[in-house]
Chain A
């Protein structure tokens, strides 16, 4: 996707020069491989810092909350859906935004790449424009890899690569992936006996250090004070006692029900590699099955948990 970079710079320059937006939110090239840095550009003269490639994994929607100016923002499929959710939840108005859509072919899974090169140090990752390949370089080696097999897990099963809401696109739409078995992993967990299921999640969070990177990387987590930070009453203990850690992860997931776009930011940022999406994904599946709902597809419809519809399933009520 590195070939989008030039067009993104031109677009940002035009929008800033013409006064269409006050600021432009995008990415600049990171100082370490597979890690780019979100950046805010104010001056049309600064657009050269903007960069795009398959390592723009943090959800830029995070940076919209509470803004009062006119904002230009880059949005892939999932980011655009989070922006829609933000608008629906009154975190920003649509009129404030100029959404520059980025048809996305997926973000590189930095952990999978490290595994692919057998944990040798990676000093540089260079994407070949338009080829779907990238080259990994390190001390004494160089390997060219195909992106398709090394996508973030959420990207591998993504059905909304193209932005759903935008003012302009930086490139033609990309083909959506078909015949995706999106919930195979969830089904596997669903099939477990309750005790095994419990053990699965207990193990999943056993390395958690409560740094809250998952929560803070999530555009849905914009509460002024998160429930884990409340002290009166204090809902959750702050130590690394597994009961408290579990409570944090479960409750956070439920707070995302019907809102999560599976952008994968939570899982990407976890410094200890917790499969954070396993907590939210089951709820995404439930939303599809119970309410025929996927978050952020339209500005017109309300999310399932804030409307009552006669056809809502109710067999759990006795």
Chain B
């Protein structure tokens, strides 16, 4: 199937039409920023954004997810047995996700979907999702996707790529999933040559707008112990307040913590997994009371080493970062991964 063009006037109507077949997530303005929300009656999609404040990682890994339910009621023959929470996950479509954030799912997948280990919760949601990406006409000054294996029109994580060509979107299907979605989309017309030319010109023009370059070429050859023992970590970490902003906003941070909660009576409970952050001291606290990363410098080092060295060594496929720049923009104390990467790369 070939690409389609949707005029911006008909666009929201097109998305409304997809609701019959998908749970559609769209960017919505909430106060000072945008986030993805389900398209429902009263939802006003807004595509006037550079990127959403929260990444879309919650689609496959909600911040809190119930995995199992159980009862402690001894009279119940099923007492103490964890039962998987049955979830009906409908087909999901996320419309307007930035290419970098979609590529992040590919990186995160390395942890949740491996030959040896398969995380059924993550995989189920991921496989249910169709990624309709919106190419970036106006990347931020903090964007360094081009140095992180991605780019403003990166297709790797997408099923459909949208080009904003002024008064219309050019929708290019990239996978079967993407074709299926465009098949179901009402309206639009076949893309003409002029629109393609506009889209291609756009791609070339925007490539030059990514002004942040982060050198990562030497990371692989560095000695891991030398980097670990580098003298700059204390200075890098000094200002860190150990909040979870960087990790929670990051599209490629995926760590979680599993918690049992007994709240309902009689004695019934939930096993929930929640996002966790390597910035929190509790993250590594052992049952014995020992904490292998009790100091903030150790925690800050871990975050950067994990993304910029351990992953590079383990998968030989670049850094665990897509260059979205959220941590750069929203770190309350301005710890800038671009500067840290430079320090590590040039050690």
Contacts and interface: CB of A to CB of B under 8 A. Distances in A.
Interface residues of A, number: 40
A198 interface: no
Contacts of B64: 239-241
B259 interface: yes
Contacts of B328: 31-32
B142 interface: yes
Contacts of B280: 212, 229
A62 B332 CA distance: 13
Contact of B241 (A62, A114, A209, A237): A62
A63 B332 contact: no
Interface in A208-232: 209-213, 215-217, 229, 231
Contacts of A237: 259, 261, 263
A37 B239 contact: yes
Interface stretch (A79-87, A100-108, A255-263, A269-277): A269-277
A211 B54 CA distance: 12
A38 B334 CA distance: 8
Contacts of A123: 141
Interface string B225-264: 0000000000100110111110111000000010101010
A272 B261 CA distance: 27
B249 A271 contact: yes
A90 interface: no
B63 A209 contact: yes
Contact of B248 (A63, A209, A217): A209
B244 A211 contact: yes
A217 B243 contact: yes
Contacts of B338: 31
Contact of A40 (B140, B238, B248, B330): B238
Interface string A1-35: 00000000000000000000000000000111001
B329 A273 contact: no
A208 B244 CA distance: 12
A238 B257 contact: yes
A211 B333 contact: no
Interface string B131-172: 000000010111000000000000000000000000000000
A5 to B, nearest CB: 17
Contacts of B277: 211
Given A239-B64, A239-B272, A210 B259 contact: no
A115 interface: yes
Contact of B245 (A121, A139, A271): A271
A273 B261 contact: no
Interface in A229-265: 229, 231, 237-241
A207 B30 contact: yes
A269 B334 CA distance: 11
B313 interface: no
Contacts of A209: 54, 63, 244, 248, 275
A215 B63 CA distance: 19
B208 to A, nearest CB: 13
B138 A121 contact: yes
Nearest to B257: A238
A238 B259 contact: yes
A252 to B, nearest CB: 13
A121 B141 contact: yes
B297 to A, nearest CB: 12
Given A209-B54, A239-B64, A239-B272, A32 B336 contact: yes
Residue among A207, A231, A268, A271 with most chain B CB within 10 A? A271
A215 B282 CA distance: 15
Interface in A28-60: 30-32, 35-40, 58
Interface in A55-95: 58, 62-63
A35 B281 CA distance: 25
B23 interface: no
Interface string A95-135: 00000000000000001001100010101000000000000
A30 B336 CA distance: 9
B121 to A, nearest CB: 15
Contact of A38 (B50, B244, B333): B333
A217 B274 contact: no
B335 interface: yes
Given A121-B50, A238-B274, A239-B64, A211 B334 contact: no
Interface of A: 30-32, 35-40, 58, 62-63, 111, 114-115, 119, 121, 123, 139, 207, 209-213, 215-217, 229, 231, 237-241, 268-269, 271-273
> Would you list the 7 A-B pairs with minimal beta carbon distance, nearest first?
A269-B332, A239-B64, A211-B244, A213-B243, A37-B334, A216-B241, A38-B239
22 contacts: A30-B334, A32-B328, A32-B329, A37-B333, A40-B238, A58-B239, A58-B333, A62-B241, A119-B32, A123-B141, A207-B31, A209-B54, A209-B244, A209-B275, A212-B243, A213-B243, A237-B263, A239-B64, A239-B259, A240-B64, A272-B53, A272-B54
Given A32-B142, A211-B277, A272-B53, 16 more contacts: A31-B336, A31-B339, A32-B336, A35-B332, A40-B238, A58-B239, A62-B241, A63-B239, A209-B63, A209-B275, A210-B244, A212-B244, A216-B241, A217-B332, A272-B33, A273-B33
